[in-house]
């Protein structure tokens, strides 16, 4: 997942509204959004190479999302896939705070990442770019391959369009997917310098990326209600940039089943 925008406690009905694009090589196998057979109550896509995920929720109202940090000048040793950070949180029963504290203590053992984990009580960010673990308050946030709310053009656009979408009541996640289908590149004078060269900075600057063998694989939108329910919509993308399949799922708290 390489671009995420999310709103915490901003909407009267939804405690979380989130949109995100996962950018990855198309050669890396992945499974679409589904309830996991080996982890009851977990709803997420799955990286079939390492077994982790980039974004997921549970029927108990826990959620997590991950982006990588783009910094080819400072590689870090990686003993596990970064996708395990989200998958492990969704499988466990501890609080978002306790999990974030544990990840923060060992963050240097992974390649660069930004991890956001939340439960009904709190939301936390752990990053190889932040010396301290962050606890987030009410607001609208954006994150890509650098620090939280770094004003890259695509982060600014996605966050503003999400803020505008919060005027709907309720918010339908399907209506948020067009925000993630924005292929407009940023002007050269607004591009970051992350060490990949000007041509790749241009290719990576849109909200949705289409490049040879690489690009946005999945667009996801979700809304979690204050009463514990929610809805998730996912659209996959093909290597040529055309739309693949769309999957929708309802999140129902266990007590309501």
State CA 184 to chain mean position distance: 20
CATH of the domain at 33: 3.60.60.10
CA distance linking residue 166 with residue 19, whole number of Å: 12
- pLDDT tens profile 61-95: 999 999 999 766 556 666 678 999 999 999 998 99
pLDDT at 177 (0 to 100): 98
pLDDT at 109 (0 to 100): 87
Is the pLDDT score of 154 beyond 80?
Answer: yes
Residues 6 or more apart from 89 whose CB is under 8 A from it? 62, 64, 96, 99, 117
Domain limits for position 12: 3-256
Q: What is the mean pLDDT of residues 118-144?
A: 96
Q: What is the mean pLDDT of residues 43-49?
A: 96
59 secondary structure, DSSP code: T
CA distance linking residue 85 with residue 59, whole number of Å: 18
H/E segment holding residue 68 = strand 63-68
DSSP 215-256: EEEEEEEEEEETTS-EEEEEEEE-TTS-EEEEEEEEE--GGG
Overall number of domains in the chain: 1
Tokens 């990588």 sit on residue = 68
H/E segment holding residue 175 = helix 173-176
């Amino acid at each position: 997942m390489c671009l995420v925008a999310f709103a915490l406690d901003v909407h009267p009905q939804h405690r979380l509204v989130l949109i995100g694009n996962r950018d990855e090589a198309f050669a890396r196998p992945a499974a679409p959004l589904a309830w996991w057979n080996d982890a009851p109550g977990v709803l997420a896509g799955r990286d079939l190479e390492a077994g982790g995920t980039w974004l997921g929720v549970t029927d108990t109202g826990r959620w997590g999302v991950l982006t990588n940090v783009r910094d080819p000048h400072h590689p870090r040793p990686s003993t596990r896939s970064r996708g395990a950070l989200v998958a492990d949180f969704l499988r466990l029963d501890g609080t978002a705070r306790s999990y974030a504290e544990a990840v923060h203590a060992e963050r240097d053992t992974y390649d660069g990442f930004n991890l956001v984990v939340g439960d009904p009580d709190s939301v936390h960010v752990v990053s190889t770019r932040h010396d301290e673990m962050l606890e987030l308050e009410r607001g609208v946030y954006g994150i890509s391959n650098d620090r939280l709310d770094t004003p890259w053009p695509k982060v600014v656009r996605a966050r503003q369009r999400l803020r505008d979408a919060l005027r709907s009541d309720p918010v339908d996640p399907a209506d948020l997917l067009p925000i993630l289908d924005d292929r407009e590149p940023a002007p050269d004078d607004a591009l970051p310098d992350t060490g990949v060269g000007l041509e790749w900075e241009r290719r990576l600057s849109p909200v949705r990326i289409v490049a040879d063998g690489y690009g946005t694989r999945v667009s996801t939108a979700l809304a979690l209600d204050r009463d514990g329910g929610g809805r998730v919509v996912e659209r996959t993308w093909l290597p040529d940039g055309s739309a693949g399949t769309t999957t929708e799922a309802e999140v129902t708290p266990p007590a309501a089943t």
